[in-house]
Chain A
């Protein structure tokens, strides 16, 4: 676990020790080790089928590990059913109870613990205020918008004061604008409450912007764990480089042509500069351009292959067909292992 930020003085909120979950021949989760520190905002990032959701369900108790141990605040959870884990989930489809109004939905966890109606309704209203749904207690889930349902699901989980909050692609069903607003809100909520958040997503932007640390999943294994900037700037494998952001994955021949050692490497488009043809040894021709708003992505074809360069807005742009020179920022080429 070279990349994990160890927290030696505290019991980790969640700890996986060589955890596997196999469904027949399918290895959904395969030998995963990870620690999530208390109070951390932890993201599990990966394409669908990479095992991240299964990991979440292993923590909540809806799946049982085929092998390995999962500790929640130091306690082996192997014999604890979901209802006795002080861990709550915000489900991808929210899973609100359709026959209850918002207040009863939120108070549900308190009700099954035997807390009387007045107390639990008061607490429900309190938490509804936190998610800015003060006047919605009497509505049924069917009468709410997607964003509002998402907040109810969040309130329903938070009212139980969980030790760990699990979020399964909670923003996936929202439109772009709402998603960005909710990202900020979730982040500030997590900081205010200090609860450990474990967040599953396939959207690397979401993971990078919200999480304290990110685990990138591929084929049931963790490809890399680290802070967003570590994962973004120093991807360890081709998969991570490719999946997180829009790095150039550079083949050994290309790496050599770019002035590095002859090995697989990653190269961020924004760490390359375009120069006039005569001012660089590394030369190519512009074959395509895509305007992105904050900049323009320029595809440059070299004798050994194609590479993508980000030209920030405001800088002069070449024309398609132009011959250009390239300059790399110092240490821009990151070696990748497991090519």
Chain B
């Protein structure tokens, strides 16, 4: 729906207002990382300093959660890439009995609130006496990351001309050669985008994680604790910036990798 008519002024203002509402709050995170006031959220900051970055760097309690988050995100992303791509390959073209049920199964982990995924896993661990570990966190993260990879991959599969796979077979390539020389190069950017979104999603996830982590602390859980019981508030801001940038960059890259397609749109967390 496009027209050359000029938008009414009130609509323009409302749209810009909503856009600012979405973006301005984040900027405050950056500002408060430089404040000299460490006990309150006083605005405007009484003074500006860069010391908090050094303080955060030297805080020993930040590093283990950061490593754990990176490890969980990396493993979950790898698992989601494999499972999501397999699923997309099967679902992109074929029509079979139970297809709708499977696509429902894939989106369920993000369609239902995170607390249900979290509480379900928690119940399962309780019933089966599984102790909390990095593995229990990954189990949850990989589950809700599958749909992200799946959405990206399935959209690309559909956009690919179906006959290039046939052309490859026709020219003498077997299934594995076709995958390596034709499918993978054409799926590559979509998988990369899906992987990066999955990584961002996992790195930042807190709701499911609180149910599956036990005593372990990922970076978001560390942040949550600081939010509830603040110590050095600006340090939390520094970590927030790190989390923000670590998720923001992959998202932006994913957008550029899949431009022109519909992969990321409504990919929904």
Direct contact of A and B (CB under 8 A): yes
User: B170, A82: Cβ atoms under 8 Å?
Assistant: yes
Q: Which residues of B contact A95 (CB under 8 A)?
A: 161, 163-164, 166-167
Question: Could you name 15 residue pairs across A and B whose Cβ atoms are closer than 8 Å?
Answer: A60-B166, A81-B169, A83-B173, A84-B172, A91-B163, A91-B167, A95-B163, A96-B167, A99-B185, A108-B181, A112-B168, A112-B174, A112-B177, A113-B172, A157-B171
User: B167, A160: Cβ atoms under 8 Å?
Assistant: no
- Tell me if A136 is interfacial: C-beta within 8 Å of chain B: no
- Tell me if A89 is interfacial: C-beta within 8 Å of chain B: yes
* Total residue contacts A-B, CB cutoff 8 A: 65
Bound CA span A99–B161, Å: 12
User: B185, A108: Cβ atoms under 8 Å?
Assistant: no
**Cross-chain contact of A83 among B164, B174, B182, B185 (Cβ < 8 A):** B174
- Other 14 A-B pairs with CB < 8 A, given A89-B166, A97-B182: A62-B170, A81-B174, A82-B169, A83-B172, A83-B174, A84-B172, A88-B170, A91-B163, A91-B167, A95-B161, A95-B163, A98-B164, A109-B171, A112-B177
Binary CB contact string for chain A from 70 to 104 against chain B (1 if under 8 A, 0 otherwise): 00000000000111100111011101111100000
Identify the 5 closest CB pairs spanning chains A and B, nearest first: A109-B171, A95-B163, A95-B167, A112-B173, A82-B169
Q: Which residues of A contact B170 (CB under 8 A)?
A: 60, 62, 82-83, 87-89, 157
CB contact under 8 A between A108 and B168, given known A93-B161, A93-B163, A95-B163: yes
- Tell me if B186 is interfacial: C-beta within 8 Å of chain A: yes
User: B166, A82: Cβ atoms under 8 Å?
Assistant: yes
- Tell me if A156 is interfacial: C-beta within 8 Å of chain B: yes
User: B182, A160: Cβ atoms under 8 Å?
Assistant: no
Bound CA span A93–B177, Å: 22
Q: Which residues of B contact A109 (CB under 8 A)?
A: 171-172
B176, chain A: closest CB distance, angstroms = 10
User: A160, B163: Cβ atoms under 8 Å?
Assistant: no
Q: Which residue of B lies closest to A108 (CB)?
A: B171
Q: Which residues of A contact B174 (CB under 8 A)?
A: 81, 83, 112
In this complex, how many residues of chain A approach chain B with their Cβ under 8 Å: the count is 26
Bound CA span A160–B168, Å: 12
Bound CA span A290–B91, Å: 53
CB contact under 8 A between A112 and B172, given known A98-B186, A99-B186: yes
Q: Which residues of B contact A62 (CB under 8 A)?
A: 166, 169-170
Bound CA span A217–B257, Å: 46
Binary CB contact string for chain A from 101 to 131 against chain B (1 if under 8 A, 0 otherwise): 0000000110111000000000000000000
Considering only residues 23-69 of chain B, those with a C-beta below 8 Å from chain A are none
Bound CA span A160–B172, Å: 9
Q: Which residue of A lies closest to B180 (CB)?
A: A112
Q: Which residues of B contact A96 (CB under 8 A)?
A: 164, 167
Residue among B167, B173, B177, B186 with max Cβ neighbours from chain A (10 Å)? B167
Residue among B167, B171, B173, B185 with max Cβ neighbours from chain A (10 Å)? B171
Q: Which residues of A contact B161 (CB under 8 A)?
A: 93, 95
Q: Which residue of A lies closest to B160 (CB)?
A: A98
Q: Which residues of A contact B168 (CB under 8 A)?
A: 97, 108, 112
A101, chain B: closest CB distance, angstroms = 13
CB contact under 8 A between A160 and B186, given known A93-B163, A95-B161, A108-B181: no
Q: Which residue of B lies closest to A98 (CB)?
A: B186
